[in-house]
Copies of this chain bind each other. A is one copy, B any other.
Amino acid sequence: MKLVIAVIHDEDSHRLTERLNKAGFMATKLASTGGFLKTGNTTIFVGTEKEKLDEVLDIIKKECKTNKQMSLLNPPVAGMPDGYLPYPIEVTVGGATVFVLDVDQYLKI
């Protein structure tokens, strides 16, 4: 048995846990802040048999994969000179930090 602890972006949390559930894995979500990811994040705990660990990791990789997207991070604010134009800049979204731990004993009560 393995315990997967993944720190993921809030915005990936709902989709990821849905995919995990569909594949038969139960994920417990804990609200977390700071740290591995700068923005709001969620820490999820997923228990899995050793044989299915790769399946869990593949789902996390797929749903949390880092990619670049364009964002307007510089909207005009009051006092800006006339003619200021916001322009899109590239930001990185997604990503996850994953720890896999050995489970000494697993109980379902």
Question: A-side interface residues toward B, CB under 8 Å?
Answer: 1-3, 5, 7, 17, 26-36, 41, 43-47, 57, 60-61, 64-66, 94-109
User: A45: which B residues are within 8 A, CB to CB?
Assistant: 5, 7, 32, 35, 43, 99
Contact A26 B30 (CB under 8 A): no
Task: Enumerate 27 A-B pairs (CB-CB under 8 Å) in ascending A order.
Answer: A1-B99, A3-B99, A7-B45, A17-B34, A26-B36, A27-B34, A28-B32, A28-B35, A28-B41, A28-B97, A29-B32, A29-B35, A32-B45, A35-B44, A35-B45, A35-B46, A43-B45, A61-B109, A66-B109, A96-B107, A96-B108, A97-B107, A97-B108, A99-B103, A99-B106, A100-B104, A101-B104
